Structures are given as structure tokens and as C-alpha cells.
Amino acid sequence: NILTGTVDRTAPRIVGTTSPADSLLSQGDEIAISFDEALDCETFLNGTNVSVKVLADDVHAEVELFKTVDFSYTCSGSGIVITINPAKLQAYDGRRWEVQVRSITDWLGNASDPIAPTWQFQVDYFKQSPSSVTLVGPEDWRINAATAEQTLHFAITDYDVFQASTSLSEIALQYKRDVDADWLTASTLTVAQLEARHRAQGVADEIPIDTLNWDASTVLDGSYTVRAVATGNTGRQSVSGPASGLIDRVAPALLGTPSPQDGVYDSQDDVAFTFTEAIDCEAGYQFNSSVLDYGATSAEELEPTQVVCLGDQVQFIFAEELLKDHFGGTVTIELALVTDLAGNGIEGTGTVTYSFIIGQLGEETSPVALLTPSADWQVNQAQPEVTFTLGGYDLYELHSTLDSLVLEYSAEHESEWHAIESMTQEALANHHVANRATESEEPTYAVTWMPGVADGNYEVRAVAYGAHGFPEYSGAIQGRIDQTSPWLLSMTPENGALQHSQTIALTFTEAIAEASLAGDALSLQEQVLVTPFGGGEPYFSYVKIPEEMYRVAYQGETVAFYFDDQFTVTYDGATLALGVDGITDQNGNVLEDAVTATFAVQNVTPTAQRLESLHLTGEQLEDGSIALTWNAYDALGTEGYTVERSANGQFFETVATLQEALGYQEAVRFEEVIFYRLRLQRNDGTEKYSRVAVIEDQGIALPLAVEVFPNPIEENILRFSWYSKGSEESVTLEVRDVRGVLVHKEELDLTTRGTQISVQLPEHLDPGMYLLNATQGVQSHSMKFFNP
């Protein structure tokens, strides 16, 4: 006998380009996929093996499409064809789609490679993709103080002026300062203007080119990026490449005093001019340096060994051996023809001059440094003092001289410095000997300052004084003293009534720290009066307002609450309770007094505006269950309703998800009061909340009920809970086997109602079915459980 068979170990693979090849799904297009061998179409078509979805973007949520209703597919030979419902293509025109195919095999069961290929397509149903556009230039453009023409002209080309294959509504020139986030429009040409100007050039068959202008006379200085944006008929856009440039109309100026800032050159000091912005070092500059010896009447040229221009600084380097020959003399440097990156020259005469005295090189004053705090120290109510650690000084004058150290402070915008503490060299040496841990430990000295000065910004520095009277300065450390708590200055609306489109704004005496607004610092709740059934003092309960219905904005000293446009109709007649506690100013001082306020919500709107409400209501029925009802709201745009429940009005859990329902009923146990709210889910992915329905206990008796969990029990431990309402008697618990033999019995008092109870059953208990029976007065309830 001869047996025949087939050996096929090769997975079917996709061949060619899946159509549409341009990845644009347009009117009449189908998705056609071809493989390199015949497929098992019967098996493929018997399952749900194709998924199609519309991908989420910045505005819209993801949408899953359904087989048969939204799309269909066929399989024949080595090909699969997917057909999309034209209505869906139009509904989601302009969106990106994703198609995935699964469970593809050949006749011998070899799965495709890849197993689940995926494609993405852009829907362009009416072929309205926007035209491309190219921004030709100019590149690296600049405007400075000397530029007479403040309007820039940018050439554009490569756009579909006659809309032969793409759509075009207009082309805009947009600009953005590099430190900003938003693009602004400088000028725009409509397609009609572009076409007319192109025809007027008499070159209708050539590539179009035109000019967009930007009047930059009113914009701020800075580095800018410019682009061209073509908008199609559907509002979709394409963007050209960028062109960068600089607007700088401000001349560079000296930033502070050149180095050395104390006017005395000591060994290794920098000699540098620092400007308010970067210098164009490649453009060149001129300088002249000379020295006037002490007691001389005429200066002589003093040539630096090197001049370095880098960033915003020009630095002069002199040979110290040469400077020693001119001790006590005055060096003068003139620097001219300096320009910034935009070509602006130095303001004024165009020349800056600085002079300094050559110190006694080799016998310099000791250096000194502030080791701590590193920066941005602060003094507030919680931390009324700050400690500064001085170090880096030549305590035993091995390489320099040291008579004393002084710690000083100066207020912002003041030139005068005030002493905090002064230490002689002898006192510093005694302190070091008394406090050092090892012989080799570097000397340091800590000064704790409890300032008695006004709130404000301050600088602190250390000064070393040497034998020759020349001071040496540490770097200054900036900080702030603020020992005043913020307090509420004003609150709007002042009349205590919150109406449609109004904002609750709190203004404090100083800027608030944004980080302190997190957590429970701000609370917004509905105040509800609860009257206990059967007597008792009425009390207020507070129900959390969903955060989706408002947002909190912070700016400086103002904290504002902005509400959803449906808020007042949803909460009409409600009392809002606002609480602010624990927030701090920028320096950590806590709010002086907690803020509490109530607002009456009034649905006062313009007469032409009509608002809808879900109007959720609820009641406790005679059997103790809860019945909820609500109004229909935007029925065509509603996807479903989610019912949420809370025991305390603060934290809600989902109890049901419903379609097209206007009511819900459930049996639930609660004490005194229970809270419900409704979350409406719209087809566009947004959500809307109802006002919370507060349902008070009507004192309705509930029968005795027992629940075992888990069932079967584990490790011979019976875990259960019981509940009843209306009876104050204790509960008798019995556990019996199927023969009626008593295994366990105990009495449970009322404090165990609604709690989880655990009972350790005898270790010798046989596996099998058992009966748990609870009795309370004339009521009883039994439940079977299994011991594995």
C-alpha cells in the first residue's frame, strides 16, 4: 500500500502591502490582507477573530466597534477582506483606527507569523487630508535695537493651492517664544487669497510660493520659533518645519561690579567683566589695560597674558609675578565694542572701565567660606533660628593672615551690612581645640542666629580680616525671614449665595504654598440635617462633593473654586460647607485661623438658558429596602447609569450599573442614615454626577439573618455575621451535624450585630455538612455550611 501525506511546517505570512496602501481609509475603501498560502477560512470565519477600534486621542476616548453591526469580513483562498460600515467611517472621520486579525492558520494548522498582526489607518472619508506646506525661510533671523524694520517676511511653498489631492482652507504663520507653551498666529492667507495671488503671478503650472508676514514690533524679546500651519476643510492641520531666530532690543550692560569686587587683587583672584546677557565673542572686542604705580603720576601699559571671552563674561588673566612688581598700584581696564548675540552694543558710550588695587601678594588675608546651610535658608514660626557654619579659614595662619571672622547680614535692596557675631583668631583657635574630634580635623565655627528683624529677604556672608586690613568675603547665602501667619483677607461671593457661573474665591494676606493645598487642607461638602428616628438631637452630616464637579485653581494669594456648568441645577437649594485648614504660606507658616463658611446654592441662570437635572430621590420602603428614582437626562447621549452608595457621605462604592433605567431598589443594612448618588456615563466618554440622596432610617424592623463566609469553612474555624433590626434580645447560636447532634452553642449579645464573628469548632469534627441555627426571641434563621 502507498500512503500519501503533506509536510508543511511553514507559517502563513503576509505578502505585499495591506490595502489601502496609503493607510488612509476613504469612501469605498476595504481592508484587504494577502498571505503567501491558502488559509483555513472555515475555522477563521467561525470565530470572532477580527477586532476594530477607534483609538483614543487628546480629546476622545477609545471606541470598540462591533462585528456585523459596524464591520464585516470575508476569507477566501489566501486573502481576508474587511469592510467597514460607511456610517462609522463618517462618524469617526479624521480619527486613527486599529485593526487586528487573530487565529489565522493554513490548512495544516500552522499559525500565522505574526500570530495577531495589527494595522493602523487614518480615516479620511471624503479625502479631506490637509495640504502639506514648507516654510522656506529666513533661517537664524534676528531683530535688535538697531533694526528699523520690525516686520519679518517668511516664504512658504509646496502647498496644494488648487486642492488637487488634499484640502486647504488657509495657511497661518505661527510663532512661539521658546520659554512659552502656546503658539500665536502672526498672519493668515485663505485658500482664495493664495489661489488669486498664485494666478496673478502668471505661473499657474509651477510650484506655488507666497509670503506670510509677522509684525514683531510689539512682542517681547527672546528666542522664537516660527512655523507655517496649513488647515484643511475638516479642521485638520499639517505643520511645516520650524525656523528659529532671536529678538533682542536690549543692549548688554555690566552686571554688578567687575571682579575683584572688593577692588583689591589678591592671589588667584579673577579679573572679569560680567554682563547681563551672553556676549558675541566671535564678533570681537577691544580693550586697553594699564597700571599706575603707587605715588606715580603717569600710567604704563600692562599686558594680560590671556583674555578669555565665554558666555556673558570677559576675563583677563595677568601674571602674578608681574603684578608683584606693582604692589599698591592701580590697574585700569577699558573694554569697548562688545556686542550681544543680536548685535546690540554696550549701552551708553559703548565702553566700560574698571580699576582695582594690587594687594600685597603672598601675605593675603585668609579665605573663608559658609559651609551650611547650602542655600535658601528660612526662618519661620516653626523654625525661629538658623545656624551658619563657617569653615575654610587658615586658623593657624600657615599660608595667610587672620585676625578675625565676622558673620554679617544685609536686607534685600540695601547696601549696608550688619554684624551677627564676631570671632577673634584666638577665640577661633580655643574653640577648635575644645571641640575637635581628631588632630587633623578641619576647623569650623557654628553661629546660631535668632533674628529680631523685620520679615523679608536677606543675605548672609562671612568676612575674614587679615593683618594688612584687607578683607576676604565668602559667598553670600540668600534666605528669607517670615514669622507671620497668613490669614483670610476676603471671600466671595460675600452674600453667602452661590449662583450659576459664580466662583468661590478666597484671598489671603500673602501667597499660599501650592503643596499645602493637597490632602484634607481644602474640603467642599454638602451640609445635610439628619433627624434620628424615634427621637434624639438632630445633627449635621456632611456629604463630599464629587471632585469631577469642580476644580481648585491656585495663583499667589488667591485660591478659587470653579464649578461645572450643571452644578447649581444639580445642587439647587443645597447648603455647601467650605473648610480650609492647615495650609501654609511659601515659608511654612500655618494659616492663623481655620476658614469655615457655608453657601446657599441658588439655580439662578439667564432666562434663555434651560438646564436639566437627574434629580435623584430615594426612600426606605416598608420591607426595609431602599428605592431610588431619577429623571431621564440627555437620553440620546447616555450610555448608562452607575449607582454608588456610601455609609458616611465621603467614600462611595459602586453597587449597580444600569442601562436605560430610571430607578433602582436594593436591600441594605444601615444605621440612622445612608447616602446614594448617581453617575451618568455619556457616549462621548464624559460623566455627570447627581446630587447625593440622603435616606434616613425609618426604624423599620428587619428579620434575623445569618451569613457564613467563607463556605466551605477553613481550618475548622466558622466565620459568620448576623443582623436584625427591631429586637433588643440576645442571639442563641447552635451548630449541629446532619444527625442533629449539638456541636457548639453560645449566646451573642447585641454588640456583635453586624460584626465578623469567628468560632473555633472541635478539632475532631468530621468532614461534611453542618447546620448553623441562630435564634432571637421568636425569630430564627438557619444556614448550612460544609467542613471540607
Give the DSSP H or E segment for 736: strand 731-737
Q: What's the count of helices (H) and strands (E) in the chain, helices before strands?
A: 6, 58
Domain extents for the chain? 24-123, 134-248, 264-358, 369-481, 488-602, 617-696, 702-787
Q: Does the structural domain 488-602 have CATH classification 2.10.210.10? A: no
If one looks up domain 24-123 in CATH, what number appears? 2.60.40
pLDDT of res. 321: 86
Report the CATH superfamily, name and number, of domain 702-787.
Macroglobulin (MG2) domain (2.60.40.1930)
pLDDT of res. 605: 65
The domain defined by 264-358 folds into: Immunoglobulin-like (2.60.40)
455-465: per-residue pLDDT in tens?
A: 999 999 999 99
340-378: per-residue pLDDT in tens?
A: 988 899 877 889 999 998 876 656 789 999 999 988 899
Q: Which class for 164: exposed (0-12), middle (13-18), buried (19 or more C-beta within 10 A)?
A: exposed
Q: Does the structural domain 369-481 have CATH classification 3.30.70.360? A: no
pLDDT of res. 530: 85
The domain defined by 134-248 folds into: Immunoglobulin-like (2.60.40)
Q: What is the CATH architecture assignment of 617-696?
A: Sandwich (2.60)
Q: List the grid coordinates of 185.
A: 498666529
CA-CA distance, 61 to 59, in Å (whole number)? Answer: 7
DSSP per-residue string spanning 597-657: EEEEEE----TT--------EEEE-TTS-EEEE----SGGGEEEEEEEEESSSSS-EEEEE
* DSSP symbol at 545: P
pLDDT of res. 609: 44
Q: Which residues of the chain have pLDDT under 50?
A: 607-611
Q: Write phi, then psi, for 218 (nearest 5 degrees).
A: -110, 0
Q: Are 644 and 666 in contact (CB under 8 A)?
A: no
Residue type (1 letter), 280? D
| 398 three-state secondary structure | coil
pLDDT of res. 397: 84
488-602 with 702-787: one CATH topology? yes
Q: List the grid coordinates of 597.
A: 463658611
pLDDT of res. 607: 46
Sort strands 742-748 and 757-760 into parallel, antiparallel or unpaired: unpaired
Q: List the grid coordinates of 24.
A: 488612509
602-629: per-residue pLDDT in tens?
A: 987 654 444 466 789 999 888 888 999 9
